[in-house]
Amino acid sequence: MAQKSVVLMPGDGIGPEVVGATVEVVEAATAGDPAITWSEVLMGGCSIDVHGTALTDEVLAECRAADAVLLGAVGGPKWDTTDPDAPRPEQGLLGLRAGLGLFANLRPVKPPPALYGASPLREERIAGTDLLVVRELTGGIYFGERGRTDDSAYDTCPYSRDEVERLARRGFEAARGRRAKVTSVDKANVLETSRLWREVVSGLAAEYPEVELEHMLVDNAAMQLVSRPADFDVIVTENLFGDILSDEAAMITGSIGMLPSASLGAAGAGLYEPVHGSAPDIAGQGIANPIATCLSAAMMLRYSLDAPGAAARIDDAVAATLDAGVRPRDLGGDADTRAVTDAILGALA
C-alpha cells in the first residue's frame, strides 16, 4: 500500500474549518490507499502571530520534503497594513510558490448542471462550460523590481523565454487530454513582455499540431469569458492577467466557494488550495462551504498522490451532493459546514 505525506496548512479565518472537513473526506475516499501521513504547520497570519513571519524556513523545508501541501486560506483584517516593512500573510503564499518552484496555477471551472441557476449569468450562456485557466505564478509584475519616491512609484513586469515556455507547455499538455484548444491571453498590442509571450507560445505550438491555438488580448478575453465561456478550453496567461481572469471565471459557477486550484512545478510537492479567501466575517461560525477545498484535495490526489480513483470518487460525491439539493449558504441554501461534509461522506459511502 502506497505511503504519502501531506503538509496541512489550515491558515487563517475559515481555513481550519474547511481543511478539517476535507481531511475527513480524503480519508473516506482513499480508505487507506494511499496511506497518508498528515503534518499540520503554521503559515499566514497565524504564523506571523507566533513567529513574526508568514512562512518560516523550517516550514518551507518540511513542504519540500512532502508529496503535497494542502492549504486552507490566509489573511484577514488583523494583518492588513500599508507598511511595506511589516509582514503580511500573503508573503507566505508567494514565498511558498517561489520556494517550491511552483510556476503553474491550474484552476478548473466546470459549473455542475445542478448549479446553473446559481450563476449570475443566464443558464444558456454557461451550459457546457468546462475550462481550465493555466496561470504563470513566479514571474511578471508581482516579482519584478519595484520602488517609489514621494511623488511616483513603479513596478516592472519581467519575463524570460524559458519562463513563458514552461508555462505554455503545461497548457498544451493539459489541452491534449481535454478538447485540444489553447487560448493564449496577452496584451501584445501594447506590452513588450506580451510580444515575447506571443512569440514563444506561437513557436511552441508547432510541437502540438493536434492542439488549436488562438491568441486573445486580455481585455477581449475578459469580455468573452462572460459572453461565451463554453467556447474556452485551456486559457494560458501571465501572472497578473491570470489572477484577474481566474477570479472572473470562478463566478461563472455562482460562488467562489466552489472553485479548487493546484499550483505545480517541474517536480516536487504541489500546492492545493481553494480559490476563495479566509472569509473572516464568518470564521468560527461553522457555516463555511468546504466544497472548493474538497475539490482541491481531489486535484491533489490526481496530480501528486497518484490516486486518480480516489480523486474521481470525491468529484462524484460532490456532484451527487449538489444533485441531492444540498446547498451551503453561499449558494443560497442553509446547509452548514457539517451538513455539507456529512452529505459528501454519505455519497462516498
Hey, which residues are catalytic here? Answer: 142, 187, 219, 243, 247
Q: Which residue has the cell 505554455?
A: 168
Q: Which residue has the cell 513574526?
A: 52
Beta bridge partners of 237: 135, 185
Bond into 108 cis (ω within 30): no
> 244: alpha, beta or left, given left = phi > 0 and alpha = psi -120 to 50?
alpha
Rounded CA separation 339/325 (Å): 12
DSSP states along 167-188: HHHHHHHHHHTTTSEEEEEE-T
End-to-end, the C-alpha distance of the chain in Å comes to 21
**167 touches 201 (CB < 8 A):** no
Cell of 28: 473516506
Number of other residues whose CB lies within 10 A of the CB of residue 128 = 11
3-state secondary structure of 95: helix
Beta bridge partners of 147: 154
Rounded to the nearest 5°, which phi and psi values hold at 157? -125, 75
Beta bridge partners of 136: 104
